[in-house]
Structure 1
């Protein structure tokens, strides 16, 4: 084979490879996120049989703080988390709040258990329970709650209670410094566990889990979020303006959704601050270390490829409904 034939063959192979990669991207790209009619309604503990219409994040804020709790099969861990959350919030009586629990298609009766628990233990608290018909993934549940919250500040908090809820005061203080509550400024403050890397909370985890953690951090730096030390902590606070800008544009519902939000914030010029928080490992994690790490890597490639090819525009409004 002469040089011309070699170059021609290499060009054909490259074109075939790029074509196959593009079709693989099309096949792996998830469909648009959507909401079913039943998911636009919620139940309250005082009258759990009545379905009420959810508001929109595009409405004006009607209270100070929304706490969005994504929950998938969390009947065992949710009671402790709710207890610590409401105990802390009760110490700030002048701050109005709501707790929005989004049951992500659970099979263990999480929604019913949450309503019963709230009705028996916290009858006066503003707790709303939304039930998704199908399991979407944590990112889908968080997005749904954020799109229907009423607060001027919107907090995402995991149902396992791994992050100390009282540290929300640190996040609120940092957010107020960037985007005052009486303004319409956009900002995000995320809880960070980066300061715990050398402590027993992380060191005692399995060698495989720590290896994958460091590997993910390396990949994330390459992907463009190296400025954030801890992208995956489930304790993040958004101004209402930031929530309006980010969540309608979210595409991914899987574990990597945090990274998508941070990349969107970077693209849109929304400031992101990190605040160290107290965190501890809680038994019962839904994360499968190897499987979900590989899925996160795949989804990160899908995310960046769609963004670079401008199939996912930074300014498109993707609030889909059925």
Structure 2
């Protein structure tokens, strides 16, 4: 049977409509649900208030300190104490010129991380403003970072991994680079740590073959989706000024390890300048990343991000959004 031209056009249009409808159905199925902030997650404990939970601040409030250090933590009783010691040592050396707070956001740990960190804060660092927040359910690293950023009090807010892989003193490189991006913190700006300069060094070469394959594959995909201008999207050492955090984090949807890409895509859509700054970094044992699972999640989530943006389901506001109980899915 030979189809005439009109029948062929009808068949092609019907196939296209069915294909788009199927993609949209899969997109809805794969898209993460809105991020809900429960009432108990809006509070914290500290050395000065170990048993009474106190209310957290909001990113919409005026800044109260120069720097908020946001540390996402999931089962980190082994690695976090050493990282915390290094962090506090550096910050205390600048205390006369820079005030700070540390927000440890526990992502539903099962090893008692919140209580261990509270005990450590009380016994070792009673004079340091360490605030411990507990998420009721495990969201993923991105969810913990988002929560800390939306409740930090800093003029600038740093996200940093609990494993101490990044050299904390390199905060000063990010700080200087941000000041070069914008003369005033009233204008949004981001400075991200980068390990791109280490690609051919022993620090990266010694990593497993599978992890390096994943790294190169990710770079290729990122160029396709539009963040190829950032050579290292996944370094867990990123500095936001308060205006950038206000603009970006209420509209974050992805909470697993690829969330950094969404943050940078949001920055690009909102025309927020981003500086990529080389930092020192070393591999730390105990990574919770399963490379095969992460690879599949990466492809799925990049597709979900682009699909929701294409269909207009995930929107951003050109201004200061009001933070609510959930992210802005429409």
Q: Following the alignment from structure 2 to structure 1, what is the Cα–Cα distance between the partners of residues 133 and 116?
A: 12
Q: Following the alignment from structure 1 to structure 2, what is the Cα–Cα distance between the partners of residues 148 and 30?
A: 22
Partner of residue 118, structure 2: 115
Match 1:105 to one of 103, 108, 112: 108
Partner of residue 93, structure 2: 91
2:194–2:235: 8 Å Cα contact kept in structure 1? yes
Q: Following the alignment from structure 1 to structure 2, what is the Cα–Cα distance between the partners of residues 115 and 130?
A: 10
Q: Following the alignment from structure 1 to structure 2, what is the Cα–Cα distance between the partners of residues 320 and 141?
A: 16
Partner of residue 325, structure 2: 321
Q: CA deviation at 1:25?
A: 0.4
> 2:177 matched to 1:179?
no
Within-5 A mapping of 1:247-262: 247-262=249-264
Q: Following the alignment from structure 1 to structure 2, what is the Cα–Cα distance between the partners of residues 272 and 91?
A: 27
Partner of residue 211, structure 1: 213
Q: CA deviation at 1:294?
A: 1.1
Query: Aligned to 1:3, what secondary structure does the other structure show?
Result: coil
CA deviation map 1:289-311 (0-9, x unaligned) = 11012101110110011011111
Q: CA deviation at 1:165?
A: 0.4
CA deviation map 1:255-298 (0-9, x unaligned) = 12111111111111110001000000011111111101210111
> 2:75 matched to 1:67?
no
RMSD over aligned Cα, in angstroms? 1.4
CA deviation map 1:74-126 (0-9, x unaligned) = 11110010010001111112210000000001111111111011111111100
Partner of residue 203, structure 2: 201
Q: CA deviation at 1:6?
A: 4.9
Partner of residue 168, structure 1: 171
Partner of residue 145, structure 1: 148
Q: CA deviation at 1:318?
A: 7.4
Q: Following the alignment from structure 2 to structure 1, what is the Cα–Cα distance between the partners of residues 226 and 46?
A: 41
> 2:11 matched to 1:3?
no
Q: Following the alignment from structure 1 to structure 2, what is the Cα–Cα distance between the partners of residues 183 and 11?
A: 51
2:170–2:280: 8 Å Cα contact kept in structure 1? yes
Partner of residue 247, structure 2: 245
Partner of residue 278, structure 1: 280
> Greater CA deviation, 135-144 or 171-180?
171-180
Q: Following the alignment from structure 1 to structure 2, what is the Cα–Cα distance between the partners of residues 301 and 121?
A: 46
1:249–1:318: 8 Å Cα contact kept in structure 2? no
Q: CA deviation at 1:12?
A: 3.0
> 2:145 matched to 1:135?
no
2:74–2:108: 8 Å Cα contact kept in structure 1? yes
Q: CA deviation at 1:47?
A: 2.4
Q: Following the alignment from structure 1 to structure 2, what is the Cα–Cα distance between the partners of residues 60 and 70?
A: 23
TM-score normalised by the chain length of structure 2: 0.94
Q: Following the alignment from structure 1 to structure 2, what is the Cα–Cα distance between the partners of residues 315 and 250?
A: 12
Q: Following the alignment from structure 2 to structure 1, what is the Cα–Cα distance between the partners of residues 194 and 86?
A: 20
1:65–1:153: 8 Å Cα contact kept in structure 2? yes
Query: Aligned to 1:198, what secondary structure does the other structure show?
Result: coil
1:179–1:239: 8 Å Cα contact kept in structure 2? no
2:185–2:241: 8 Å Cα contact kept in structure 1? no
Q: Following the alignment from structure 2 to structure 1, what is the Cα–Cα distance between the partners of residues 295 and 47?
A: 37
Query: Aligned to 1:90, what secondary structure does the other structure show?
Result: helix
2:191–2:238: 8 Å Cα contact kept in structure 1? yes
Query: Aligned to 2:232, what secondary structure does the other structure show?
Result: coil
Within-5 A mapping of 1:223-238: 223-238=225-240
